Structure 1
Amino acid sequence: MSNLLDSNRFHFLIDALPFLSKYSGSTFVIKYGGSVMQNDILKSSVIADICFLRLLGINLVLVHGGGLFINDWLEKLSIEPKFHNGIRVTDFDTMQVVEMVLVGKVNRELVSLFNQNNVLSVGLSGKDANLIKASPLFPYSNNLTGKIDSVNSSILNLLLLNNFMPVIASVASDLNGTTYNINADTVASAIASSLNAQKLILLTDTPGILSDINDPCSLIKELNICKVRQLQSLDVISGGMIPKVQSCICALESNVKSTHIIDGRIKHALLYELFTHNRIGSMIVL
């Protein structure tokens, strides 16, 4: 068995070699979210894989969610979590919790973990250095869910140029200082677009795009935008997959070369997606 495992590792390395030179110096934006963040074993694996990619010379920006942690705190405070088409409905009280959890807890913990693994990281939110300017997604309402008006990528380029990895929480403010909760997939897409990234990778807790939502084996491994729109019209893409797919389309239309939706619950999913020809998730291209 040991010889077989060693052989598998050897073949994996051979398969990965063509990708290593192709990716070195590229910029990838990774969105990290879902239940993957709650499992300490999976979290350690994801952190290690991201650090490995960084050491290979890939420029990385990490955008994180934290919806399950937010829900836990909302329930502790007797605030009911609400969603519409996969996007959180954010009233004033919910917004306070969102910012506290994403910026004050999740972001700090992730930055600490990366720094412990010798990948120097800097934690940011959309508020820092006017990274993201936002406005209400639903004007004339009390919903503080936001949309992105602009991205100031200068701070990100400065950090990447100096070998720091930006770790970004998905909250931002408008010109008046009002804070908004923004879907992390949307933030990752806008960041990838602003940096002309080679890849946008959404690491989540779904296998990818399924032709049958009840059958994990119906994974569609490669699609173009035309195929995606066809699946949307048939309601095959629904619920929480809607903002993920829309984020991918927006990135592709802004010159990001490829987008990926992969299942972070699978150990080393990132490496399988990036360094094997068969891959493990759904890749969307133009």
Structure 2
Amino acid sequence: MSEDTEAQGWATAKTLAEALPYIQIYDRETVVIKYGGHAMGQEEVAKLFAADVVLLKMLGLHPVVVHGGGPQISRMLERAGVKSTFIDGLRVTDEATMEVAEMVLSGAINKEIANWITLAGAEAEVRGVGLSGKDGRLITVEKAVRTKKDPDSEIEKVVDLGFVGEPKVIDTTLIEALIGAEEDYIPVIAPIGVSVEGQTYNINADTVAGAMAGALEAKRMLLLTDVAGVLDKDGQLIRQMTVAEARAAIESGVATGGMIPKLETAIDAVEAGVEAVVILDGRRPHAMLVELFTEHGSGTLICR
């Protein structure tokens, strides 16, 4: 054995020993993971993500994956000649768009992620199970309502987003059965829900992840995105924020663009009972492991 190989062995043993207290903290705890952004389109990154999720399960955690797929939906709509419009970051969803969104989210993306997890966990018999919010009436939704102020009259007007929903009831029966089974199943959930009347709705994936984490009383919710976390006015990473500080970051303009709805989701999840939410860069290899099992973590942690 070479000196370099021996040194690597000692370094690995030291890392495992340092991780032990954190492994004990998360033993048999639920962690909801929102997987999305540009990393979803990169096969090698997707494989690393799947392997890390399998490792979480083998270390005694109960990972639940909620995924998005906005870029993939946009590409499919372009091929079909359907034009997309957005209002406040939400895709206006007519019947044609809803059909494509469900096909992409509940079909291609959902099954691909579940398959990557199953392949990564083949030796340990860890299996990904692809679901949508329609399965077992997992997610019952209400039609999302948004208002916009007319610049001329200053009158608030209701904006019709079409088949865009917001979670009203999360029935965790199916998820709890999967994570509590003797077999090692990892639920993978597409952000599609159904109304009381049976109408299918598209839902923002961050919103689904937050609602799911609250309903499952998750210890952690990890929002994997394509930025390092929340940055301050000087562009430096903010390691930790309280709910009050997160609200202040939104109001002061420190948080901008797509970070605003992520912070709003984090705030809602913490207020629903999740111990903490972490916004972190899903493109970095093993970012989840660094966050959960090391002292310094990765990304921005939002807690009560």
TM-score, normalized by length of structure 1?
0.93
Separation in structure 2 between the aligned mates of residue 191 and residue 35 of structure 1, nearest angstrom: 23
Which amino acid is the alignment partner of residue 144 of structure 1?
F
Q: Name the counterpart of 2:143.
A: 136
Q: Name the counterpart of 1:282.
A: 300
Q: Name the counterpart of 2:288.
A: 270
Q: Is the 8 A contact 1:87 1:243 kept in 2?
A: no
Separation in structure 2 between the aligned mates of residue 256 and residue 195 of structure 1, nearest angstrom: 9
Which amino acid is the alignment partner of residue 163 of structure 2?
L
Structure 1 residues 227 and 55: alpha-carbon distance in aligned structure 2, compared to 1, 3 A threshold: same
The DSSP-based 3-state class of the residue aligned with 1:164 is strand
Q: Is the 8 A contact 1:86 1:242 kept in 2?
A: no
Q: Is the 8 A contact 1:85 1:240 kept in 2?
A: no
Q: Name the counterpart of 1:147.
A: 166
* 1:2-41 matched pairs, under 5 angstroms: 5-41=8-44
Instruction: Pick which of 66-75 and 84-93 moved more.
Output: 84-93
Separation in structure 1 between the aligned mates of residue 10 and residue 71 of structure 2, nearest angstrom: 39
Q: Is the 8 A contact 1:192 1:256 kept in 2?
A: yes
Which amino acid is the alignment partner of residue 293 of structure 2?
F
The DSSP-based 3-state class of the residue aligned with 2:126 is coil
Match of 1:115 among 112, 118, 142: 118
Match of 1:184 among 196, 199, 205: 205
Separation in structure 1 between the aligned mates of residue 58 and residue 27 of structure 2, nearest angstrom: 10
What is the CA distance between 1:5 and its match in structure 2? 4.6
Q: Name the counterpart of 2:155.
A: none
Which amino acid is the alignment partner of residue 164 of structure 1?
Y
What is the CA distance between 1:84 and its match in structure 2? 2.8
Q: Is the 8 A contact 1:90 1:181 kept in 2?
A: yes
The DSSP-based 3-state class of the residue aligned with 2:167 is strand
Q: Is the 8 A contact 1:219 1:281 kept in 2?
A: yes
Matched, 1:234 2:252: yes
Matched, 1:88 2:107: no
Q: Name the counterpart of 1:247.
A: 265
Instruction: Pick which of 233-242 and 32-41 moved more.
Output: 233-242
Q: Is the 8 A contact 1:87 1:240 kept in 2?
A: no
Which amino acid is the alignment partner of residue 222 of structure 1?
Q
Match of 2:70 among 63, 67, 72: 67
Q: Name the counterpart of 1:48.
A: 51
Instruction: Pick which of 246-255 and 137-146 moved more.
Output: 137-146
Q: Is the 8 A contact 2:26 2:61 kept in 1?
A: yes
Q: Name the counterpart of 2:151.
A: none
Separation in structure 1 between the aligned mates of residue 6 and residue 279 of structure 2, nearest angstrom: 33
Matched, 1:198 2:198: no
What is the CA distance between 1:38 and its match in structure 2? 0.7
Separation in structure 2 between the aligned mates of residue 188 and residue 205 of structure 1, nearest angstrom: 17
Q: Name the counterpart of 2:153.
A: none
CA deviations on 1:245-282 (whole Å, 9 max, x unpaired) are 11111111111111111101111111111111111101
* 1:99-110 matched pairs, under 5 angstroms: 99-110=102-113
Q: Is the 8 A contact 2:91 2:161 kept in 1?
A: no
The DSSP-based 3-state class of the residue aligned with 2:25 is helix
Separation in structure 2 between the aligned mates of residue 188 and residue 107 of structure 1, nearest angstrom: 15
Q: Name the counterpart of 2:276.
A: 258
Q: Is the 8 A contact 1:92 1:142 kept in 2?
A: no
Which amino acid is the alignment partner of residue 44 of structure 1?
K
Which amino acid is the alignment partner of residue 195 of structure 2?
D
Matched, 1:157 2:176: yes
Q: Percent identity?
A: 38
Match of 1:209 among 230, 251, 268: 230
The total of aligned residue pairs comes to: 283
What is the CA distance between 1:60 and its match in structure 2? 1.4
What is the CA distance between 1:87 and its match in structure 2? 2.6
Which amino acid is the alignment partner of residue 119 of structure 1?
V
Q: Is the 8 A contact 1:33 1:64 kept in 2?
A: yes
Q: Is the 8 A contact 2:46 2:116 kept in 1?
A: no
Separation in structure 2 between the aligned mates of residue 273 and residue 120 of structure 1, nearest angstrom: 23
Which amino acid is the alignment partner of residue 213 of structure 2?
A
What is the CA distance between 1:66 and its match in structure 2? 1.1
What is the CA distance between 1:121 and its match in structure 2? 2.5
How large is the RMSD of aligned CA atoms in angstroms? 1.7
